[in-house]
Chain A
Amino acid sequence: MHIPDGFLSARTAAAAAVLSAGALGVALNVARSLPRRRVPLMGLTAAFIFAAQMINFPIAAGTSGHLVGAVLAAVLVGPAAAVVVMSAVLIVQCVLLGDGGLTALGANIFNMAVAAPVFGYAVYGLISRLLPGTRGRIVAAAFAGWCATVIAALCCAVELAFSGIHWVVFPAMINVHLLIGIGEATLTALILSAIIRTRPELLDASAAEPARRRMIPLVVAGLLVAIALAVFISPLGSDWPDGLEKVAEHFGFAASSRTVLPPALGLDSKIRTTAWATALASAVGTVLAFGLSLLLARWLVPNRSAGRNGEHP
Protein backbone atom coordinates (compact mmCIF):
# COMPACT_ATOMS: atom_id res chain seq x y z
CA MET A 1 0.00 0.00 0.00
CA HIS A 2 3.09 2.25 -0.01
CA ILE A 3 2.50 4.94 -2.65
CA PRO A 4 5.69 5.56 -4.69
CA ASP A 5 6.87 8.97 -5.91
CA GLY A 6 5.24 10.37 -9.02
CA PHE A 7 1.66 9.26 -8.52
CA LEU A 8 0.25 11.98 -6.32
CA SER A 9 -0.52 15.45 -7.62
CA ALA A 10 1.39 18.24 -5.89
CA ARG A 11 -1.78 19.49 -4.21
CA THR A 12 -2.76 16.09 -2.82
CA ALA A 13 0.76 15.38 -1.62
CA ALA A 14 0.98 18.76 0.11
CA ALA A 15 -2.47 18.43 1.71
CA ALA A 16 -1.69 14.94 2.98
CA ALA A 17 1.70 16.08 4.31
CA VAL A 18 0.12 18.96 6.24
CA LEU A 19 -2.60 16.70 7.65
CA SER A 20 -0.24 13.96 8.76
CA ALA A 21 2.20 16.50 10.24
CA GLY A 22 -0.69 17.92 12.28
CA ALA A 23 -1.86 14.48 13.40
CA LEU A 24 1.69 13.43 14.24
CA GLY A 25 2.09 16.64 16.26
CA VAL A 26 -1.06 15.85 18.26
CA ALA A 27 0.12 12.27 18.82
CA LEU A 28 3.59 13.42 19.94
CA ASN A 29 1.98 15.87 22.34
CA VAL A 30 -0.15 13.14 23.90
CA ALA A 31 2.65 10.58 23.97
CA ARG A 32 4.89 13.09 25.74
CA SER A 33 2.71 12.80 28.84
CA LEU A 34 3.26 9.04 29.02
CA PRO A 35 5.60 7.77 31.75
CA ARG A 36 9.27 8.19 30.82
CA ARG A 37 9.93 4.48 31.08
CA ARG A 38 7.71 3.93 28.05
CA VAL A 39 9.93 6.04 25.76
CA PRO A 40 12.42 3.21 25.01
CA LEU A 41 9.46 0.87 24.52
CA MET A 42 8.26 3.08 21.64
CA GLY A 43 11.59 2.78 19.84
CA LEU A 44 11.69 -0.96 20.44
CA THR A 45 8.08 -1.39 19.31
CA ALA A 46 8.93 0.46 16.10
CA ALA A 47 11.86 -1.90 15.53
CA PHE A 48 9.59 -4.84 16.42
CA ILE A 49 6.92 -3.81 13.88
CA PHE A 50 9.63 -3.35 11.24
CA ALA A 51 11.07 -6.80 11.97
CA ALA A 52 7.61 -8.41 12.12
CA GLN A 53 6.77 -6.99 8.70
CA MET A 54 9.78 -8.83 7.28
CA ILE A 55 8.41 -12.24 8.32
CA ASN A 56 6.45 -13.66 5.39
CA PHE A 57 3.37 -15.80 5.76
CA PRO A 58 2.57 -18.34 3.06
CA ILE A 59 -0.72 -17.77 1.23
CA ALA A 60 -2.04 -19.89 -1.62
CA ALA A 61 -0.03 -20.80 -4.72
CA GLY A 62 3.44 -19.72 -3.66
CA THR A 63 2.52 -16.14 -2.84
CA SER A 64 3.11 -14.72 0.60
CA GLY A 65 2.01 -11.73 2.60
CA HIS A 66 3.07 -9.99 5.75
CA LEU A 67 1.67 -8.16 8.74
CA VAL A 68 1.23 -4.36 8.66
CA GLY A 69 0.67 -4.06 12.37
CA ALA A 70 -1.07 -0.69 12.85
CA VAL A 71 -3.75 -2.14 15.14
CA LEU A 72 -1.27 -4.45 16.85
CA ALA A 73 0.88 -1.42 17.71
CA ALA A 74 -2.16 0.56 18.89
CA VAL A 75 -3.28 -2.26 21.19
CA LEU A 76 0.26 -2.88 22.51
CA VAL A 77 1.41 0.69 23.22
CA GLY A 78 -1.75 2.80 22.96
CA PRO A 79 -3.11 4.81 20.00
CA ALA A 80 -1.01 7.99 20.36
CA ALA A 81 2.26 6.09 20.72
CA ALA A 82 1.19 3.84 17.84
CA VAL A 83 0.90 6.86 15.52
CA VAL A 84 4.49 7.84 16.39
CA VAL A 85 5.71 4.23 16.11
CA MET A 86 4.11 3.61 12.72
CA SER A 87 5.37 6.97 11.40
CA ALA A 88 8.90 6.02 12.44
CA VAL A 89 8.53 2.68 10.62
CA LEU A 90 7.36 4.42 7.44
CA ILE A 91 10.13 7.04 7.60
CA VAL A 92 12.81 4.35 7.88
CA GLN A 93 11.22 2.27 5.10
CA CYS A 94 11.16 5.32 2.83
CA VAL A 95 14.70 6.52 3.49
CA LEU A 96 16.46 3.20 3.95
CA LEU A 97 14.65 0.90 1.54
CA GLY A 98 13.01 3.30 -0.93
CA ASP A 99 9.67 1.67 -0.06
CA GLY A 100 7.17 4.51 -0.46
CA GLY A 101 8.16 7.79 -2.08
CA LEU A 102 9.76 10.77 -0.37
CA THR A 103 7.09 13.19 -1.62
CA ALA A 104 4.38 10.61 -0.88
CA LEU A 105 5.64 10.15 2.70
CA GLY A 106 2.94 12.45 4.05
CA ALA A 107 0.20 10.48 2.32
CA ASN A 108 1.67 7.13 3.38
CA ILE A 109 1.95 8.30 6.99
CA PHE A 110 -1.63 9.52 6.84
CA ASN A 111 -2.97 6.20 5.50
CA MET A 112 -0.97 3.69 7.51
CA ALA A 113 0.24 5.60 10.57
CA VAL A 114 -2.69 7.89 11.33
CA ALA A 115 -5.94 6.64 9.79
CA ALA A 116 -5.24 2.91 10.31
CA PRO A 117 -4.18 2.92 14.01
CA VAL A 118 -6.59 5.67 15.14
CA PHE A 119 -9.63 4.26 13.36
CA GLY A 120 -8.57 0.71 14.22
CA TYR A 121 -8.16 1.57 17.89
CA ALA A 122 -11.56 3.27 17.96
CA VAL A 123 -13.13 0.06 16.60
CA TYR A 124 -11.08 -2.01 19.07
CA GLY A 125 -12.21 0.15 21.99
CA LEU A 126 -15.85 -0.05 20.96
CA ILE A 127 -15.98 -3.82 20.38
CA SER A 128 -13.92 -4.74 23.45
CA ARG A 129 -16.29 -2.64 25.56
CA LEU A 130 -19.26 -4.49 24.09
CA LEU A 131 -17.67 -7.94 24.43
CA PRO A 132 -15.76 -8.18 27.69
CA GLY A 133 -13.07 -10.71 28.54
CA THR A 134 -10.10 -12.11 26.67
CA ARG A 135 -12.25 -13.48 23.91
CA GLY A 136 -13.86 -10.09 23.36
CA ARG A 137 -10.41 -8.56 23.11
CA ILE A 138 -9.38 -10.99 20.40
CA VAL A 139 -12.62 -10.40 18.46
CA ALA A 140 -12.08 -6.65 18.78
CA ALA A 141 -8.43 -6.79 17.66
CA ALA A 142 -9.17 -9.04 14.67
CA PHE A 143 -12.10 -6.96 13.48
CA ALA A 144 -10.16 -3.72 14.07
CA GLY A 145 -7.26 -5.13 12.03
CA TRP A 146 -9.62 -5.76 9.14
CA CYS A 147 -11.26 -2.33 9.41
CA ALA A 148 -7.88 -0.55 9.61
CA THR A 149 -6.65 -2.29 6.45
CA VAL A 150 -9.77 -1.30 4.54
CA ILE A 151 -9.75 2.31 5.79
CA ALA A 152 -6.06 2.68 4.84
CA ALA A 153 -6.85 1.31 1.37
CA LEU A 154 -9.78 3.69 1.06
CA CYS A 155 -7.62 6.70 2.00
CA CYS A 156 -4.99 5.53 -0.49
CA ALA A 157 -7.60 5.18 -3.25
CA VAL A 158 -9.03 8.62 -2.48
CA GLU A 159 -5.59 10.22 -2.69
CA LEU A 160 -4.77 8.45 -5.96
CA ALA A 161 -8.15 9.28 -7.52
CA PHE A 162 -7.80 12.89 -6.47
CA SER A 163 -4.42 12.92 -8.22
CA GLY A 164 -6.07 12.00 -11.50
CA ILE A 165 -5.62 8.23 -11.52
CA HIS A 166 -8.62 6.50 -13.09
CA TRP A 167 -11.63 5.90 -10.77
CA VAL A 168 -11.16 2.15 -11.18
CA VAL A 169 -8.66 2.59 -8.37
CA PHE A 170 -11.58 2.55 -5.88
CA PRO A 171 -12.98 -0.91 -6.61
CA ALA A 172 -9.46 -2.22 -7.30
CA MET A 173 -7.96 -1.06 -4.00
CA ILE A 174 -10.99 -1.74 -1.82
CA ASN A 175 -11.93 -5.16 -3.16
CA VAL A 176 -8.35 -6.40 -2.92
CA HIS A 177 -7.99 -5.10 0.62
CA LEU A 178 -11.28 -6.62 1.74
CA LEU A 179 -9.37 -9.89 1.23
CA ILE A 180 -5.95 -8.73 2.46
CA GLY A 181 -7.68 -7.46 5.61
CA ILE A 182 -8.64 -11.03 6.50
CA GLY A 183 -4.96 -11.95 6.64
CA GLU A 184 -4.19 -8.92 8.78
CA ALA A 185 -7.10 -9.76 11.11
CA THR A 186 -5.97 -13.36 11.50
CA LEU A 187 -2.36 -12.39 12.18
CA THR A 188 -3.34 -9.69 14.69
CA ALA A 189 -5.57 -12.16 16.54
CA LEU A 190 -2.91 -14.91 16.50
CA ILE A 191 -0.15 -12.63 17.79
CA LEU A 192 -2.30 -10.93 20.41
CA SER A 193 -3.69 -14.22 21.73
CA ALA A 194 -0.14 -15.58 22.01
CA ILE A 195 0.95 -12.48 23.96
CA ILE A 196 -2.08 -12.74 26.26
CA ARG A 197 -1.32 -16.43 26.80
CA THR A 198 2.29 -15.83 27.84
CA ARG A 199 2.49 -12.29 29.23
CA PRO A 200 -0.96 -10.76 29.83
CA GLU A 201 0.49 -8.03 32.05
CA LEU A 202 2.22 -6.43 29.05
CA LEU A 203 -1.18 -5.53 27.65
CA ASP A 204 -2.57 -4.32 30.93
CA ALA A 205 0.37 -1.94 31.24
CA SER A 206 -0.55 -0.29 27.95
CA ALA A 207 -4.21 -0.14 28.95
CA ALA A 208 -3.20 1.73 32.12
CA GLU A 209 -2.83 5.04 30.28
CA PRO A 210 -4.93 7.71 31.99
CA ALA A 211 -8.37 7.17 30.52
CA ARG A 212 -9.66 10.72 30.40
CA ARG A 213 -6.57 12.07 28.73
CA ARG A 214 -6.68 9.31 26.19
CA MET A 215 -10.18 10.01 25.03
CA ILE A 216 -9.88 13.68 24.11
CA PRO A 217 -6.92 13.35 21.71
CA LEU A 218 -8.56 10.27 20.25
CA VAL A 219 -11.65 12.31 19.48
CA VAL A 220 -9.48 15.10 18.05
CA ALA A 221 -7.58 12.63 15.92
CA GLY A 222 -10.82 11.01 14.78
CA LEU A 223 -12.11 14.40 13.75
CA LEU A 224 -8.88 15.04 11.87
CA VAL A 225 -9.37 11.81 9.94
CA ALA A 226 -12.96 12.78 9.19
CA ILE A 227 -11.95 16.25 8.03
CA ALA A 228 -9.18 14.79 5.91
CA LEU A 229 -11.59 12.41 4.25
CA ALA A 230 -13.97 15.27 3.65
CA VAL A 231 -11.20 17.38 2.15
CA PHE A 232 -10.15 14.56 -0.15
CA ILE A 233 -13.63 13.38 -1.05
CA SER A 234 -15.46 16.69 -1.45
CA PRO A 235 -13.95 17.45 -4.88
CA LEU A 236 -15.04 13.99 -5.98
CA GLY A 237 -18.40 14.47 -4.36
CA SER A 238 -19.03 17.66 -6.29
CA ASP A 239 -18.56 15.68 -9.48
CA TRP A 240 -21.31 13.31 -8.45
CA PRO A 241 -24.51 14.89 -9.68
CA ASP A 242 -27.81 15.05 -7.81
CA GLY A 243 -28.13 17.83 -5.30
CA LEU A 244 -24.73 19.46 -5.43
CA GLU A 245 -24.54 19.54 -9.21
CA LYS A 246 -28.00 21.05 -9.48
CA VAL A 247 -27.13 23.71 -6.94
CA ALA A 248 -23.90 24.47 -8.78
CA GLU A 249 -25.69 24.72 -12.09
CA HIS A 250 -28.31 26.93 -10.55
CA PHE A 251 -25.72 29.38 -9.31
CA GLY A 252 -23.85 29.21 -12.55
CA PHE A 253 -20.46 28.02 -11.34
CA ALA A 254 -20.82 24.46 -12.56
CA ALA A 255 -18.53 25.16 -15.48
CA SER A 256 -15.75 26.58 -13.34
CA SER A 257 -15.97 23.75 -10.82
CA ARG A 258 -15.73 21.23 -13.64
CA THR A 259 -12.42 22.53 -14.85
CA VAL A 260 -10.57 21.98 -11.56
CA LEU A 261 -11.69 18.35 -11.39
CA PRO A 262 -9.52 15.53 -12.61
CA PRO A 263 -10.95 14.61 -15.99
CA ALA A 264 -10.78 10.90 -15.25
CA LEU A 265 -13.55 11.20 -12.69
CA GLY A 266 -16.43 11.88 -15.02
CA LEU A 267 -19.56 10.03 -13.97
CA ASP A 268 -21.62 7.60 -15.97
CA SER A 269 -23.89 4.71 -15.13
CA LYS A 270 -21.00 2.25 -15.16
CA ILE A 271 -19.31 4.12 -12.33
CA ARG A 272 -22.52 4.17 -10.36
CA THR A 273 -22.93 0.41 -10.75
CA THR A 274 -19.33 -0.20 -9.73
CA ALA A 275 -19.70 2.14 -6.75
CA TRP A 276 -22.79 0.27 -5.59
CA ALA A 277 -21.12 -3.08 -6.09
CA THR A 278 -18.07 -1.95 -4.10
CA ALA A 279 -20.25 -0.55 -1.33
CA LEU A 280 -22.24 -3.78 -1.22
CA ALA A 281 -19.04 -5.86 -1.16
CA SER A 282 -17.73 -3.72 1.71
CA ALA A 283 -20.96 -4.12 3.69
CA VAL A 284 -21.06 -7.88 3.20
CA GLY A 285 -17.31 -7.99 3.91
CA THR A 286 -17.80 -6.14 7.20
CA VAL A 287 -20.40 -8.64 8.39
CA LEU A 288 -18.27 -11.59 7.24
CA ALA A 289 -15.13 -10.16 8.85
CA PHE A 290 -16.95 -9.72 12.14
CA GLY A 291 -18.29 -13.27 12.01
CA LEU A 292 -14.82 -14.54 11.18
CA SER A 293 -13.35 -12.58 14.10
CA LEU A 294 -15.89 -14.19 16.44
CA LEU A 295 -15.05 -17.66 15.15
CA LEU A 296 -11.32 -17.00 15.36
CA ALA A 297 -11.57 -15.79 18.95
CA ARG A 298 -13.77 -18.72 19.91
CA TRP A 299 -11.16 -21.04 18.54
CA LEU A 300 -8.07 -19.25 19.88
CA VAL A 301 -9.37 -18.67 23.40
CA PRO A 302 -10.55 -21.88 25.06
CA ASN A 303 -13.87 -21.75 26.85
CA ARG A 304 -12.76 -21.95 30.47
CA SER A 305 -10.69 -18.79 30.32
CA ALA A 306 -13.11 -16.83 28.16
CA GLY A 307 -14.93 -15.20 31.04
CA ARG A 308 -11.87 -14.16 33.01
CA ASN A 309 -10.06 -11.07 31.94
CA GLY A 310 -6.56 -12.12 30.95
CA GLU A 311 -6.37 -14.56 33.84
CA HIS A 312 -5.22 -18.08 33.10
CA PRO A 313 -5.03 -21.26 35.09
Chain B
Amino acid sequence: MNAAHTEARSLSRTWMQRLPASLRLAAAFALITAVILLPAGHWRVYAAIAGALVVIAAAARVSMLSVLKRLALLEPIIIGVAALSLLGPAGLRGFLSILAKSSLCLFVMILLSTTTRFTEILRVLRAIHTPWLLLTTLTLMYRYIFVLAEEGHRMRRARLSRTFNRGRWRTWKNLGTVIAQLFVRSSERAERIYAAMCARGWK
Protein backbone atom coordinates (compact mmCIF):
# COMPACT_ATOMS: atom_id res chain seq x y z
CA MET B 1 0.00 0.00 0.00
CA ASN B 2 1.29 3.44 -0.83
CA ALA B 3 -0.08 6.95 -1.14
CA ALA B 4 -0.09 7.04 -4.93
CA HIS B 5 -2.00 3.76 -5.06
CA THR B 6 -4.79 4.71 -2.66
CA GLU B 7 -5.19 8.15 -4.16
CA ALA B 8 -5.29 6.81 -7.71
CA ARG B 9 -7.94 4.38 -6.59
CA SER B 10 -10.13 7.30 -5.55
CA LEU B 11 -9.36 9.55 -8.48
CA SER B 12 -11.80 8.33 -11.13
CA ARG B 13 -14.56 10.93 -11.07
CA THR B 14 -18.00 9.44 -11.58
CA TRP B 15 -21.45 10.43 -10.39
CA MET B 16 -20.55 8.74 -7.12
CA GLN B 17 -17.75 11.22 -6.44
CA ARG B 18 -20.00 14.15 -7.20
CA LEU B 19 -22.31 13.27 -4.34
CA PRO B 20 -21.23 14.98 -1.13
CA ALA B 21 -19.04 12.78 1.06
CA SER B 22 -21.36 13.31 4.02
CA LEU B 23 -24.20 11.78 2.01
CA ARG B 24 -22.08 8.79 1.01
CA LEU B 25 -21.00 8.25 4.62
CA ALA B 26 -24.56 8.54 5.93
CA ALA B 27 -25.86 6.20 3.21
CA ALA B 28 -23.19 3.62 4.04
CA PHE B 29 -23.99 3.82 7.73
CA ALA B 30 -27.75 3.53 7.09
CA LEU B 31 -27.26 0.58 4.74
CA ILE B 32 -25.01 -1.26 7.19
CA THR B 33 -27.44 -0.69 10.04
CA ALA B 34 -30.31 -1.93 7.89
CA VAL B 35 -28.40 -5.07 6.90
CA ILE B 36 -27.53 -5.81 10.53
CA LEU B 37 -31.12 -5.41 11.65
CA LEU B 38 -32.38 -7.84 9.00
CA PRO B 39 -33.54 -11.11 10.57
CA ALA B 40 -31.67 -14.34 9.86
CA GLY B 41 -32.48 -16.47 6.85
CA HIS B 42 -33.88 -13.87 4.43
CA TRP B 43 -31.70 -15.15 1.62
CA ARG B 44 -33.62 -13.36 -1.17
CA VAL B 45 -33.26 -9.98 0.55
CA TYR B 46 -29.52 -10.57 1.03
CA ALA B 47 -29.16 -11.51 -2.62
CA ALA B 48 -31.13 -8.42 -3.69
CA ILE B 49 -28.87 -6.14 -1.63
CA ALA B 50 -25.76 -7.85 -3.00
CA GLY B 51 -27.11 -7.37 -6.54
CA ALA B 52 -27.81 -3.70 -5.88
CA LEU B 53 -24.30 -3.22 -4.51
CA VAL B 54 -22.76 -4.85 -7.58
CA VAL B 55 -24.80 -2.49 -9.80
CA ILE B 56 -23.69 0.51 -7.73
CA ALA B 57 -20.07 -0.65 -7.91
CA ALA B 58 -20.31 -1.03 -11.68
CA ALA B 59 -21.94 2.39 -12.05
CA ALA B 60 -19.22 3.97 -9.93
CA ARG B 61 -16.61 2.19 -12.08
CA VAL B 62 -15.11 0.32 -9.17
CA SER B 63 -13.35 -2.79 -10.40
CA MET B 64 -15.01 -5.90 -9.01
CA LEU B 65 -11.67 -7.69 -8.97
CA SER B 66 -10.18 -5.29 -6.45
CA VAL B 67 -13.35 -5.45 -4.35
CA LEU B 68 -13.20 -9.25 -4.33
CA LYS B 69 -9.51 -9.19 -3.45
CA ARG B 70 -10.13 -7.01 -0.43
CA LEU B 71 -13.16 -9.08 0.56
CA ALA B 72 -11.05 -12.24 0.42
CA LEU B 73 -8.42 -10.55 2.61
CA LEU B 74 -10.86 -9.83 5.45
CA GLU B 75 -13.21 -12.81 5.04
CA PRO B 76 -11.17 -15.20 7.26
CA ILE B 77 -11.78 -12.97 10.31
CA ILE B 78 -15.53 -13.04 9.68
CA ILE B 79 -15.57 -16.80 9.17
CA GLY B 80 -13.56 -17.29 12.36
CA VAL B 81 -15.92 -15.29 14.55
CA ALA B 82 -19.02 -16.61 12.81
CA ALA B 83 -17.88 -20.21 13.35
CA LEU B 84 -18.59 -19.73 17.05
CA SER B 85 -22.28 -19.23 16.26
CA LEU B 86 -22.35 -22.75 14.74
CA LEU B 87 -22.35 -24.04 18.32
CA GLY B 88 -25.30 -21.87 19.32
CA PRO B 89 -28.98 -22.70 18.95
CA ALA B 90 -29.10 -20.89 15.59
CA GLY B 91 -26.78 -23.52 14.07
CA LEU B 92 -25.89 -23.58 10.40
CA ARG B 93 -28.68 -21.19 9.45
CA GLY B 94 -27.40 -18.59 11.93
CA PHE B 95 -23.84 -19.11 10.77
CA LEU B 96 -24.70 -18.61 7.10
CA SER B 97 -26.89 -15.58 7.89
CA ILE B 98 -24.16 -13.90 9.92
CA LEU B 99 -21.64 -14.71 7.21
CA ALA B 100 -23.86 -13.20 4.49
CA LYS B 101 -24.76 -10.09 6.51
CA SER B 102 -21.19 -9.43 7.59
CA SER B 103 -19.88 -9.82 4.05
CA LEU B 104 -22.55 -7.40 2.78
CA CYS B 105 -21.46 -4.82 5.37
CA LEU B 106 -17.84 -5.31 4.35
CA PHE B 107 -18.82 -4.84 0.70
CA VAL B 108 -20.44 -1.51 1.63
CA MET B 109 -17.32 -0.38 3.52
CA ILE B 110 -15.06 -1.36 0.63
CA LEU B 111 -17.27 0.59 -1.79
CA LEU B 112 -17.15 3.59 0.53
CA SER B 113 -13.38 3.51 0.93
CA THR B 114 -12.69 3.04 -2.78
CA THR B 115 -14.89 5.97 -3.77
CA THR B 116 -14.11 8.36 -0.92
CA ARG B 117 -10.81 9.98 -0.07
CA PHE B 118 -9.82 10.12 3.55
CA THR B 119 -9.50 13.91 3.30
CA GLU B 120 -13.20 14.06 2.39
CA ILE B 121 -14.04 12.06 5.50
CA LEU B 122 -11.89 14.44 7.55
CA ARG B 123 -13.90 17.34 6.11
CA VAL B 124 -17.15 15.64 7.16
CA LEU B 125 -15.71 15.06 10.64
CA ARG B 126 -14.83 18.75 10.85
CA ALA B 127 -18.34 19.74 9.76
CA ILE B 128 -19.90 17.69 12.55
CA HIS B 129 -17.61 19.41 15.10
CA THR B 130 -15.27 16.57 16.00
CA PRO B 131 -12.95 17.79 18.82
CA TRP B 132 -9.95 19.54 17.22
CA LEU B 133 -7.34 17.42 18.96
CA LEU B 134 -8.75 14.19 17.50
CA LEU B 135 -9.12 15.86 14.12
CA THR B 136 -5.53 17.15 14.16
CA THR B 137 -4.27 13.73 15.21
CA LEU B 138 -6.22 12.05 12.40
CA THR B 139 -5.09 14.59 9.81
CA LEU B 140 -1.41 14.39 10.75
CA MET B 141 -1.65 10.62 11.01
CA TYR B 142 -3.08 10.23 7.51
CA ARG B 143 -0.45 12.61 6.15
CA TYR B 144 2.43 10.57 7.59
CA ILE B 145 1.20 6.96 7.47
CA PHE B 146 2.65 6.41 4.03
CA VAL B 147 5.83 8.32 4.82
CA LEU B 148 6.48 6.22 7.92
CA ALA B 149 5.45 2.93 6.30
CA GLU B 150 7.88 3.69 3.48
CA GLU B 151 10.60 4.61 5.97
CA GLY B 152 9.97 1.38 7.89
CA HIS B 153 10.31 -0.68 4.72
CA ARG B 154 13.54 1.13 3.83
CA MET B 155 15.03 0.54 7.26
CA ARG B 156 14.01 -3.09 7.18
CA ARG B 157 15.58 -3.55 3.75
CA ALA B 158 18.76 -1.87 4.92
CA ARG B 159 18.84 -4.14 7.93
CA LEU B 160 18.26 -7.26 5.81
CA SER B 161 21.01 -6.36 3.38
CA ARG B 162 23.54 -5.80 6.15
CA THR B 163 22.86 -8.54 8.67
CA PHE B 164 22.82 -12.24 8.24
CA ASN B 165 20.03 -13.65 10.37
CA ARG B 166 20.25 -16.95 12.04
CA GLY B 167 17.26 -18.01 14.07
CA ARG B 168 13.91 -16.52 14.83
CA TRP B 169 14.98 -14.70 17.95
CA ARG B 170 17.60 -12.62 16.06
CA THR B 171 14.93 -11.69 13.52
CA TRP B 172 12.61 -10.55 16.29
CA LYS B 173 15.36 -8.53 17.95
CA ASN B 174 16.32 -6.89 14.67
CA LEU B 175 12.72 -6.04 13.82
CA GLY B 176 12.27 -4.64 17.33
CA THR B 177 15.26 -2.37 16.77
CA VAL B 178 13.84 -1.26 13.43
CA ILE B 179 10.50 -0.35 15.04
CA ALA B 180 12.26 1.46 17.91
CA GLN B 181 14.30 3.44 15.39
CA LEU B 182 11.09 4.21 13.50
CA PHE B 183 9.69 5.78 16.65
CA VAL B 184 12.86 7.78 17.23
CA ARG B 185 12.62 9.12 13.69
CA SER B 186 8.88 9.80 14.09
CA SER B 187 9.46 11.89 17.18
CA GLU B 188 12.28 13.79 15.49
CA ARG B 189 9.98 14.42 12.56
CA ALA B 190 7.28 15.61 15.00
CA GLU B 191 9.75 18.19 16.37
CA ARG B 192 10.45 19.50 12.86
CA ILE B 193 6.73 19.57 12.04
CA TYR B 194 6.05 21.50 15.23
CA ALA B 195 8.69 24.07 14.30
CA ALA B 196 7.26 24.33 10.77
CA MET B 197 3.70 24.69 12.11
CA CYS B 198 4.81 27.45 14.49
CA ALA B 199 6.66 29.22 11.68
CA ARG B 200 3.39 29.27 9.73
CA GLY B 201 1.44 30.87 12.54
CA TRP B 202 0.02 27.85 14.36
CA LYS B 203 -0.36 28.78 17.99
Binding site for B on A (CB under 8 A): 2-7, 10, 24-25, 28, 31-32, 36-37, 39-48, 50-52, 54-55, 57-58, 67, 76, 84-85, 87-89, 91-92, 94-99, 101-103, 160, 164-166, 168-169, 172, 186-187, 190-195, 198-199, 202, 263-264
Contacts and interface: CB of A to CB of B under 8 A. Distances in A.
Residue of B36, B70, B197 contacting most chain A CB atoms (<10 Å): B36
Contacts of B82: 7
Residue of A47, A76, A97, A191 contacting most chain B CB atoms (<10 Å): A47
Contacts of A55: 152, 156, 175, 178-179
Interface residues of B, number: 73
A57 B29 CA distance: 35
Contacts of A87: 134
B148 interface: yes
B14 interface: no
Main secondary structure of the interface of A (DSSP, over half): helix
Contacts of A6: 35-36, 78, 98, 101-102, 104-105
B17 interface: no
Interface of B: 6, 28-29, 32-33, 35-37, 70, 74, 77-78, 81-82, 84-85, 87-89, 98, 101-102, 104-106, 109-110, 112-113, 118, 121, 131, 133-134, 136-145, 147-149, 151-152, 156, 168, 171-173, 175-184, 186-187, 189-191, 193-194, 197, 203
Given A57-B175, A166-B85, A264-B88, A7 B98 contact: yes
Given A40-B191, A165-B85, 5 more contacts: A36-B194, A54-B149, A186-B172, A194-B180, A199-B184
A6 to B, nearest CB: 4
Contacts of A192: 180
Contacts of A5: 32, 35-36, 101-102, 105-106, 109
Given A40-B190, A57-B172, A166-B85, A48 B134 contact: no
B85 A84 contact: no
Contacts of A98: 70, 74, 106, 109-110, 113
A84 B139 CA distance: 13
A40 B140 contact: yes
A102 B105 contact: yes
A186 B171 CA distance: 13
26 contacts: A4-B102, A5-B36, A6-B102, A31-B133, A36-B194, A37-B191, A37-B194, A39-B136, A43-B137, A43-B190, A44-B190, A47-B144, A52-B183, A58-B171, A58-B172, A88-B134, A91-B138, A92-B138, A92-B142, A95-B118, A96-B113, A98-B110, A102-B105, A103-B29, A198-B181, A199-B184
B171 to A, nearest CB: 6
Contacts of A25: 131
B165 to A, nearest CB: 10
Contacts of B181: 194, 198
A126 B55 CA distance: 56
B49 to A, nearest CB: 13
B3 to A, nearest CB: 12
A96 B141 contact: no
B176 A191 contact: yes
B133 A40 contact: no
Contacts of B131: 25, 28
B77 to A, nearest CB: 6
A192 B177 CA distance: 9
A42 B134 CA distance: 9
Interface pairs A-B: 6 shortest CB-CB: A43-B140, A190-B176, A194-B180, A5-B105, A6-B102, A46-B141
A271 to B, nearest CB: 12
A96 to B, nearest CB: 6
A58 B168 contact: yes
B74 A99 contact: yes
A47 B81 contact: no
A187 B174 CA distance: 11
B174 to A, nearest CB: 9
A198 to B, nearest CB: 6
Contacts of A95: 109, 112-113, 118, 121
A141 B38 CA distance: 44
Given A32-B133, A40-B140, A54-B149, A169 B84 contact: yes
B102 A198 contact: no
A4 B77 contact: yes
Nearest to A189: B176
Given A95-B121, A98-B109, A41 B190 contact: yes
A54 to B, nearest CB: 6
